[in-house]
Amino acid sequence: MTQLIWLTIALPVLGLLINGLFGRRIGNRTVSIIAPLMVLLAFLVGVGAFFETMGRGGEAVAVPLWTWVTIGDFNVPISLLVDPLSLTMVLVVTGVGFLIHVYATAYMVHSDDHGHDHDDRDFSRFFTFLNLFIASMLVLVLGDNYLMMYVGWELVGVSSYLLIGYWFDRPSEAQTPINLGSNTEPVKLQPLLSPAASGMKAFIVNRIGDVGFALGVFLLWSTFGTLQFNEIFPRAVEVSEAMPSVIPWIAALLFVGAIGKSAQLPLYVWLPDAMAGPTPVSALIHAATMVTAGVYMIVRSNILYSLAPGVSMAVAVIGMATAFFAATIALVQVDLKRVLAYSTVSQLGYMFAAVGVGAYTAGMFHLVTHAFFKALLFLGAGSVMHALHDVIDIRRMGGLKDKMKITWITFWIGGLALAGFPLMSGFFSKDEILAHVFEASPILWFFGILTAGMTAFYTFRAIFIAFHGKPRDHHLYEHAHESRTPITFALSVLAVLAIFGGLLGLPTFLGLPHFLNGWLEPVLYELPHAAEEHHMSFGAEMGLLATSAVVAVGGIFLAYFFYMLQPSIPQNLARSTRSLFALLAHKYWIDELYDTLFVQPGLKLAQAFADGLDKVVIDDMFVDGTARLIGRFGGILSKLQNGYTGSYALATFIGVIIMISYFFLR
């Protein structure tokens, strides 16, 4: 299976070709079999390769396909790398991807008010794009050089663009203001971007990051003369000694790409708007897989980051700052998907904090568990949306637990995992990160634990408002119903994974096995002069673990207290801190800030160039101006042409006489 790993990419490509070219002819039912089937087959190939690699002890195998570009000393093959790291990603992408495909076969069927089901208008287009995404993501994680990673990097960006803008003709939507009680002015919310605009925003913001990534790749090539992982990493230490400043530059430039793709400060702004896409897309691309590409990239390039401690620290600080910042915004969001979106940004921040302090395995661990529980939460949110005819505002929900039991239970499980409730998957992965962060910097840890508390709070705030209490919109409530089997199936499987995903990395200090530590060991490079690994005492580890548990439970309880026991408290609190509340509700006005600082000046400059410089100065003054000048000069000369043939003849004679006299009198 290892040598056939190219099938994992080829199968989704085959699926997208079939569905893209013949989707309308073969019918939607066939489409909804082909698309998930291809991903399932890819998953099975991945599983086969997984066991083979286990058997080899994690040794990496390159599968060369063809030579892509050769120019002089620049030579890049299309070649796939099968090693523990890429296989981890392959399994997550195809595994979660398969579940989401199955889910989408039901999700993309809308039921109308009379209970009739209708396929989405462009059913086959949706699955074509979804398969395209799977293939692109696999190129990203399987490529065995930086150029292929960059190729995948761009391709997932375009799949994301296509899928966010899938409902491209939907307009921008206004949001109902948040009411803060009778005698306070409600907080008005910005309208939501249209899907088309959101997709574009995502693509462009991603491309800004990609500039950094591309420059990093260029610098890698100028430094190493190759882009192959297995040629760069072994030489990194030697190069770093010869040219100490280059590796940090490379690491920093590549990280700029990760900032864009993985929605970190300051380029996170596209991710919340990406929620305009269909919910399976949000679950697959904007929670489970694509946005974690930056983490994957850093783990892949771990030696480069280990050799650039300053950059790594910056990664950790940016990660933790993002985690904290996004969590504060999530506290007050009223749109269920956006709560989850900011929580994704926040959790990605954790992962970066982990890889920033050198805890690469912990970062990957959280990546995997996060893929399980966040996909679960998004799919749960989608199930709710489906039941409520696309209503996503939690203020119009309430009491849904009686109407949709499976969605409710699985959402709880996802919420517990996200909050880091003891023994759930998120608990172990988050705790491992926090323990490593504590070792590196207690200040960062403090923000981390604060974020953990907020995470627990906002997650359960959403759960309590949406699923518990009394229905707020009776019409919607009456029509709500449990979703169909493909949806509940995906939810159930992911729920099991969200509970037991933690088994991949149990705490080592308790003497429990940590599968990922051993599994990922072959891809992690040791620095030659690495300090003796420093272990915290059992007591300290235990203390951190207990703190995490207490904070998680405390956050959940606070949400219970606020939204179930004393619902007046949050409103009073918001009223008394109205300006702070409004600041959070408006997402710190960051979008508006970027608009004023970059977009509008850019457009104004462009307009000035087009109307002023181009039309007036260059074209009119210089180009047409030259023509006019010559024309005017010609106009003066043409006065000599008075139209009388006689005068022309006279001029000729005089000319001839002058010439003849010149010859005679010379």
Partner 1 sequence: MILSLLIIIPIAGAIVIAFVPRDQDNMIKWLAVATTALALLVSLPLYFGFADGVSGYQFEEIRPWIPALNINYHVGIDGLSLFLVLLTTFLTLISVISSWTAITDGLKEYMACMLLLEAAVIGVFISLDLFLFYLFWEASLIPMALLIGKWGGSRRIYAAVKFIIYTMAGSTLMLVAALVLYVNGGTSDLPTLVSTLSLSQNLQIILFFAFALAFSVKVPLFPLHTWLPTAHVEAPTAGSIMLAGVLLKMGTYSYLRFAIPLFPDAVAYWTPLLVTLAIIGILYGALVALVQDDVKKLVAYSSVAHMGFIVLGTFSGGQQGMSGAVLQMINHGLSTGMLFFMVGVLYEQRHTRLFSEYGGIWVKVPVFGTYFLLAVFSSVGLPGLNGFVGEFVILLGTFKVNPIAAALGTFGIVLAAWYLLTATRKVMMGPFNEANRNLKDMNMREAGIAFVLILFCFIIGLFPNLLFDKINPATAELAEMISATTLIAGQ
Partner 2 sequence: MIGQVPLSYYLLLSAILFAIGAGGVLIRRNVIIVLMCVEMMMNAVNLTFIAFSRYLDSTTGQIFVFMIMAVAAVEVAVGLALLVELNRHKDSVNINDFNSLKG
Interface positions with partner 1 (CB under 8 A): 20, 66-72, 74, 121-122, 125, 147, 150-152, 154-155, 158, 161, 165, 168-169, 171, 194, 196-197, 200, 203-204, 207-208, 210-211, 214-215, 217-219, 221-222, 602-603, 605-607, 609-610, 614, 618-619, 622-623, 627
- Tell whether the torsion through CA atoms of 526, 530, 532 and 538 is positive or negative: negative
Which residue among 443, 606, 649, 659 contacts partner 2 (CB under 8 A)?
649
The nearest distance, CB 288 to partner 1, in angstroms, is 22
Segment lying near partner 2 (by CB under 8 A), choices 105-113, 461-469, 611-619, 649-657: 649-657
Q: How far is CA 419 from the centre of its chain?
A: 21
Q: Which does 590 bind (CB under 5 to 8 A by kind): partner 1, partner 2, none?
A: none
CB nearer to partner 2: give 66 or 644: 644
Q: Which does 655 bind (CB under 5 to 8 A by kind): partner 2, partner 1, none?
A: none
- CA separation, residue 207 to residues 124, 126, 282, 372, 601 (Å): 28, 23, 19, 27, 19
What torsion, rounded to 10 degrees, do the Cα atoms 162, 43, 76, 302 define? 100
Q: Which does 609 bind (CB under 5 to 8 A by kind): partner 2, partner 1, none?
A: partner 1
| Residue (of 215, 239, 235, 217) closest to 74 by Cα position | 217
- Tell me how many residues contact partner 2 (CB under 8 A): 14
**Interior/surface letters 519-547, b for 16+ CB within 10 angstroms, e for the rest:** bbebbbbeeeeeeeeeeeeeeebeebbeb
Using CB atoms within 10 Å of the CB of residue 362, give its burial: 0 to 12 exposed, 13 to 18 middle, 19+ buried: buried
Q: Does 653 bind partner 2 (CB under 8 A)?
A: yes
Q: Which does 533 bind (CB under 5 to 8 A by kind): partner 2, partner 1, none?
A: none
Separation CA 361–CA 510 (nearest Å)? 18
| Residue (of 427, 523, 587, 664) closest to 230 by Cα position | 523
Say which residues have a Cβ less than 8 Å from residue 304's Cβ, sequence separation at least 6.
Answer: 233, 236, 247, 250, 251, 254
Structure tokens that stand for 33 in this block? 């079999």
Q: Which does 37 bind (CB under 5 to 8 A by kind): partner 2, partner 1, none?
A: none
The nearest distance, CB 632 to partner 2, in angstroms, is 13
Q: Which does 642 bind (CB under 5 to 8 A by kind): partner 2, partner 1, none?
A: partner 2
Strand bridging mode 109-111 / 117-119: antiparallel
Q: Which does 218 bind (CB under 5 to 8 A by kind): partner 2, partner 1, none?
A: partner 1
CB nearer to partner 2: give 168 or 648: 648
User: For 57-83, where are the alpha helices, taking DSSP H only?
Assistant: none
Which residue among 510, 650, 659, 660 contacts partner 2 (CB under 8 A)?
650
The nearest distance, CB 199 to partner 1, in angstroms, is 8
The nearest distance, CB 640 to partner 2, in angstroms, is 7
Q: Does 658 bind partner 2 (CB under 8 A)?
A: no
The nearest distance, CB 660 to partner 2, in angstroms, is 13
Q: Which does 644 bind (CB under 5 to 8 A by kind): partner 2, partner 1, none?
A: partner 2
Q: Which does 66 bind (CB under 5 to 8 A by kind): partner 2, partner 1, none?
A: partner 1
Q: Which does 546 bind (CB under 5 to 8 A by kind): partner 1, partner 2, none?
A: none
**According to CB under 8 A, which residues from 338 to 377 bind partner 2?**
none
Query: Would you say 200 and 164 are in contact if contact means Cβ atoms under 8 Å apart?
Result: no
**According to CB under 8 A, which residues from 587 to 646 bind partner 2?**
635, 637-646
Say which residues have a Cβ less than 8 Å from residue 141's Cβ, sequence separation at least 6.
Answer: 86, 89, 90, 93, 152, 293, 296
Separation CA 22–CA 16 (nearest Å)? 10
The nearest distance, CB 147 to partner 1, in angstroms, is 7
- CA separation, residue 468 to residues 65, 339, 457, 461, 480 (Å): 54, 17, 15, 10, 14
Separation CA 393–CA 397 (nearest Å)? 7
The nearest distance, CB 631 to partner 1, in angstroms, is 11
Q: Which does 607 bind (CB under 5 to 8 A by kind): partner 1, partner 2, none?
A: partner 1
Separation CA 338–CA 327 (nearest Å)? 11
- Specify whether the backbone of 483 is left (phi greater than 0), alpha (psi in -120 to 50) or beta: beta
Which amino acid does the sequence have at 97?
G
The nearest distance, CB 635 to partner 2, in angstroms, is 8
Separation CA 261–CA 180 (nearest Å)? 36
The nearest distance, CB 215 to partner 1, in angstroms, is 6
The nearest distance, CB 131 to partner 1, in angstroms, is 14
Which amino acid does the sequence have at 33?
I
Q: Which does 637 bind (CB under 5 to 8 A by kind): partner 1, partner 2, none?
A: partner 2
The nearest distance, CB 658 to partner 2, in angstroms, is 15
What torsion, rounded to 10 degrees, do the Cα atoms 435, 506, 381, 8 define? 110
The nearest distance, CB 219 to partner 1, in angstroms, is 7
CB nearer to partner 1: give 115 or 635: 635
CB nearer to partner 1: give 147 or 379: 147
Binding site for partner 2 (CB under 8 A): 635, 637-646, 649-650, 653
